[in-house]
A = this chain, B = another copy of it.
């Protein structure tokens, strides 16, 4: 399997979540919408840098924006995280498979 040539939405979500600052930004938005400026203040980071990160998050649909006068409020839209959960699925099955195999093993040979 020589790696799919096209990048999938899941690829982009993983890439967006790879950076600690972007995950921090998402966490901050759990408490409600905020502006780029106030987020920049919170993280001791230049506002344009925060704006870039927000752009990435918006690109994968994890964040949406609402203009309000000269302000612009960013809010969390967690739907794309469903892709992450879907990706996780086969590994959890794999894990459960291992666990049950271990369980049946212990059943046959207890306390050895």
A77 to B23, CA, bound (A): 25
A43, chain B: closest CB distance, angstroms: 6
Structural contact, A23 and B28, CB atoms closer than 8 A: no
A21 to B, closest residue via Cβ? B3
Structural contact, B20 and A7, CB atoms closer than 8 A: yes
A91, chain B: closest CB distance, angstroms: 4
A44 to B78, CA, bound (A): 35
Query: Size of chain A's interface in residues, with CB distance under 8 A?
Result: 33
Interface segment among A63-71, A80-88, A104-112: the answer is A80-88
Structural contact, A11 and B3, CB atoms closer than 8 A: no
* 19 residue pairs from A and B, CB less than 8 Å apart: A1-B24, A1-B28, A3-B43, A3-B44, A14-B17, A17-B18, A18-B18, A23-B87, A26-B91, A27-B90, A30-B91, A30-B94, A76-B91, A78-B91, A78-B94, A78-B95, A79-B95, A81-B95, A85-B88
